[in-house]
Amino acid sequence: MKVLVTGGAGYIGSHLADRLLAEGHQVIVVDNLSLGKLANIEHNLESPDFRFVEGDILDVPLIDELIGECELIFHLAAVVGVKHVLTDPLQAMMTNVCGTGSVLQSACQHGRKVVLASSSEVYAKSTKVPLDEDDDRLQGSTQVSRWCYSTAKALDEHLALAYHRQRDLPVVIIRYFNSYGPRLDPRGYGSVVAKFVNQALDGRPITVHGDGRQTRCFTYIDDTVEGTVLSATVEAANGEVFNIARAEETTVLHLAEIIKDMANSSSDITLVPYEQEYGDDFEDIRRRVPAVDKAERILGFRAQVPLAEGLEQTISSFRSGR
């Protein structure tokens, strides 16, 4: 099968491309390299089954041409990262909403299936634990730029489901929860693991925002990719939304402590006020824990890699890449 991966030079996209090639598929990656890295895919460039196209998902004729060549679309391209969203919310909204719109329109015209990568950020300020895929969303103020990404991803989901319901487009929506592993870019959203690992290996202070008691659930990249691939292969997944996550809750402060210990680092762990890095109006979430039973029931997906094991592999990868 010939498969298109938008954003395929990014952290998750490049690992997904590796998996698809290993399964015998032909893979086209399109990426504008604004966040993706050529280094993430250079090991595949000589493969006859791999093709890289440097381009933007806002380039409608290009995207339409590439989608016409492929049978399946994994749409991962997006502007991610808190700082990117805060400094350029217009670009974040244009890419994440208009870009997705062009992908879905072309996929519909060509009759191609789409797996749409969304995010746990769509749950925004919801305090429910755990978070089910059909739960209500509590969104932040439109005057706070921090919520642009969350809003854009929610709009992406609405667009995708509208195409599915009104135009019979086969589409599956997957919500990633803090994926981590080799190639993770410290600039990306939810990339606190990469930041902490780099700081620990450098011997710099490990900077934890707020009081560090906020909790997250981290999903190792192998599990993230497994859930992504399964979402494309299970017929019953069409028109559905899935949390792709491991429900192993940990505080961010404890995460920093684990990484410091595993890296044998002399770094101090320092608490830094949010406003020092993100401005006075920044808002964060105290807990974000996924419900995972729907993905297990329909996709047969259950994340396998414990946090400690995944962190050990991540630290080893970052250390060897220096």
Active site residues: 149
Residue in the block written with tokens 């993706």: 36
Q: Answer yes or no: are the C-beta atoms of 57 and 103 closer than 8 Å.
A: yes
Distance (Å, whole) CA 20 – CA 22: 5
For every residue of 25-70, DSSP letters joined together read -EEEEEE-SSS--GGGTGGGTT-TTEEEEE--TT-HHHHHHHHHH-
- Can you say whether the dihedral through the CA atoms of 222, 223, 226, 231 is positive or negative? negative
In DSSP terms, which residues pair with 73 in a beta bridge? Answer: 4, 114
In DSSP terms, which residues pair with 53 in a beta bridge? Answer: 30
290: which DSSP letter?
A: B
